[in-house]
Chain A
Amino acid sequence: MYAVLEAIIFVFHPVHFFFLFIGVAGGIVVGALPGLTGSVGIILLLPFLFYVEPAVALIMLSGMFCGAIYGGSISAILISTPGTPSAAATLLDGYPLSQKGEAGKAIGVATIASTTGGIISVLCLIFIAPQLARFAVRFGPVEYFALMVFGLTIIASVSGESLIKGLLSGFFGLFIATIGMDPVMGYPRFTFGFTNLLLGFPMVSVLIGLFAVSQIFIQLEGVGKPQKAFNQRIKNVLPNRSELKRIFRVIIPSSLLGTFLGIIPGTGGAIASFMAYNEARRFSKDPDSFGTGNIEGIAAPEAANNGTTGGAMVPLLSLGIPGDVVTAVMLGALMVIGIRPGPLLFEQNPQVMNALFVGLMMAQFLILGLGLLSVRVFPKILKVPVRILFPVILTLCFVGAFSLSNSVYDMMVAFIFGLIGYGLRKMGFAAAPIILGVILGPIAEQELGRALIMSHGDWSVLLQSPIAIFFYCISILSVSYSLKSGLRKRKKS
């Protein structure tokens, strides 16, 4: 009880609360702006995180994550362009309702649903993550290695346009991670005499390049095209009592569905929101009204996609494997600020975890407050000209990359990886598996090295643990499932 009180005092410290507020508000803005996603927002936040203590950085990051997921619904409702992939289902009913002159109500419903979904998922996170971590604390190098294999395959198998490309992206990330000194013997690999390469490519610069700089190049494609804007007056934000009753009938199950799907690595908000939308329509008394501005059609996907936020943090915090793209980036961000997610995090940093839980809960209330109070500001955010926004973001990427180790080399790496990332994204490769490869690769190699040292070089040790075998099995299952669904899709087309 004392620990919880301590965490509450920590989060409500004016400076800490200010950082949480910046995280949530920044997340809403980033999520609302088409072309910027939660992952980009987290990356842009990275250079600033070095100057705050880890617990504050963590709550700021989580605030950004939750805010961005909610923010995606704003552009979906107002200009029919989902700010984040997880808001794609929200526009199905959100945009028609806003076209009927009820944009305020659409945003109000989305805000209430997002907050409730977020609260339910944070509660699940608080109860599930420590239990899972308590179980995972027994893991040795063999189990960790198997877990890393699982983390890599599951994300690779669901990312990108094909399984081959997803896996190739993951292995490309692992290949990048092999450059520099090997984690077991310290032998320099593929450095070609460049001292800069001895420590490998700087992870943050790779992150900035693959996610943020490549996104700027993608935005170049839209230059000259008119920017969508919302010019109506927004009124009546709050739904009435009967409407509230209606939406809460779908919010609760959708939130639970979102949380459950969020826990399964590799699913993410987009899948959860579409599933929740379909379920809401299936159980609705008036399914034909879906797609024409039904408020349940807004509440269900919004509750589900915000439900995934806490859910996705369960495997991230307790096992150290990300649940979706944004948490993959978050994993990188946490490693950079000196927090290694995994079972030991709960044992070694209970104060940080408690602060995170309280911060996450507060973030939901901030979303509610900001969402309802600044509803008239949202159309103005969408009017920020792309021709100003992206050049400024590019500069921030450069300065951010430089600030990490005060080196122009890091800026260069970020820019080159931006070009590589753009090329790969255009060819249908996803950036998330590359990042996972870069992050998880050295850990996997280190754990494998440890396991082999303990077994005196006996490789069969990798198959002697039932937990490790379980992870290998689900890795194989996830790859076979993606292979099967890919074949089915090809047959259909």
Chain B
Amino acid sequence: MAKGSTGRADIVVGGLFLTVSVVFFILSFDFPVKRAGLSPTIFPGFVTAVMFLLSAGLIIQGARKLRSEPSPAEIRPSGLTEEKKMFILRFILLAVLGIGYTRIISKAGFVLSTPFMLAGAMLIFNERKWYRILLVTVISTGILYSLFRIIFRVPLPRFDLY
């Protein structure tokens, strides 16, 4: 967990939330209005309006923090460390692997795609022993398949050529 975010990060996240709240607040006006009772527009309108105020508050808080913080150049004079670079690379790889798995599984099926996803994730988590990767992928895929497909009768995706 983060020990505490920087002012700059607060401003960026606040800005993101602010944009989302403004866009969806405007979109909420398209919903029908009822004369009595609760219209579909009221709740989203209220939620996005409060989100807007809170995001603005976060941006102000971030700006205040920023004033008392040392500049980024003072904190990281030599740019990203090797460790940080490796983390970013691993993060991107895992994100791509996860999204790729959700795209491929419906075509390749659970049995074919899961061992690759598991092996990929183990490599990202720095497992280098091939026999261990092989063992874990085969055993885990087997256990999960037996549990969900055979016992719970979940129709896990199958290999589908067309």
Please list the residues of chain A having a beta carbon within 8 angstroms of any beta carbon in chain B: 47-48, 50-51, 161-162, 164-165, 167-168, 171-172, 174-175, 178, 182, 184-185, 187, 189-190, 213, 216-221, 223-224, 385-388, 390-392, 394-396, 398-399, 402-403, 406, 408, 411-412, 415, 418-419, 424-429, 441, 445, 448-449, 452-453, 456-457
CB of A429 to closest CB in B, whole Å: 8
User: Within the assembled complex, what's the spacing in Å between the Cα atoms of A250 and B60?
Assistant: 46
List the B residue with the shortest CB-CB distance to A392: B140
Residues 73-92 of B, flagged 1 when their CB comes within 8 A of A and 0 if not, give 00000000001001100110
Selected from A189, A218, A428, the residue in CB contact (under 8 A) with B44 is A189
User: Within the assembled complex, what's the spacing in Å between the Cα atoms of A412 and B36?
Assistant: 39
Q: How many residues of B contact A (CB 8 A)?
A: 68
Q: Given contacts A403-B148, A415-B102, is CB(A223)–CB(B5) below 8 Å?
A: no
User: Within the assembled complex, what's the spacing in Å between the Cα atoms of A425 and B1?
Assistant: 6
User: Within the assembled complex, what's the spacing in Å between the Cα atoms of A419 and B86?
Assistant: 18
Pull 8 A–B residue pairs with CB atoms less than 8 Å apart, ordered by A: A51-B152, A164-B58, A168-B55, A168-B58, A171-B54, A175-B24, A185-B39, A220-B94
Whether B44 contacts A390 by the Cβ 8 Å rule is no
CB of A452 to closest CB in B, whole Å: 5
Whether B61 contacts A162 by the Cβ 8 Å rule is yes
User: Within the assembled complex, what's the spacing in Å between the Cα atoms of A165 and B47?
Assistant: 15
List the A residue with the shortest CB-CB distance to B106: A408
List the B residue with the shortest CB-CB distance to A213: B98
The 3 A-B residue pairs whose C-beta atoms are closest, nearest first, are: A457-B36, A391-B121, A449-B38
**For A47, what are the chain B residues with a Cβ–Cβ distance below 8 Å?**
148
Residues 12-50 of B, flagged 1 when their CB comes within 8 A of A and 0 if not, give 010001001100100110011011111110011001101
CB of B133 to closest CB in A, whole Å: 9
Instruction: Indicate whether B150 reaches chain A with its CB closer than 8 angstroms.
Output: no
Selected from A165, A220, A448, the residue in CB contact (under 8 A) with B91 is A220
Whether B37 contacts A457 by the Cβ 8 Å rule is yes
Whether B121 contacts A394 by the Cβ 8 Å rule is yes
Whether B55 contacts A184 by the Cβ 8 Å rule is no
**For A189, what are the chain B residues with a Cβ–Cβ distance below 8 Å?**
28, 31, 40, 44
List the B residue with the shortest CB-CB distance to A395: B118
Q: Given contacts A220-B91, A394-B121, A445-B43, is CB(A428)–CB(B4) below 8 Å?
A: yes
CB of B47 to closest CB in A, whole Å: 5
Q: Given contacts A164-B61, A174-B47, A428-B2, is CB(A411)–CB(B36) below 8 Å?
A: no
User: Within the assembled complex, what's the spacing in Å between the Cα atoms of A190 and B23?
Assistant: 11
**For B122, what are the chain A residues with a Cβ–Cβ distance below 8 Å?**
387-388, 391
List the B residue with the shortest CB-CB distance to A424: B13
Q: Given contacts A174-B47, A428-B2, is CB(A395)–CB(B144) below 8 Å?
A: yes
Instruction: Indicate whether B124 reaches chain A with its CB closer than 8 angstroms.
Output: yes
Selected from A221, A388, A391, A448, the residue in CB contact (under 8 A) with B87 is A221
Whether A425 contacts B2 by the Cβ 8 Å rule is yes
User: Within the assembled complex, what's the spacing in Å between the Cα atoms of A213 and B98?
Assistant: 10
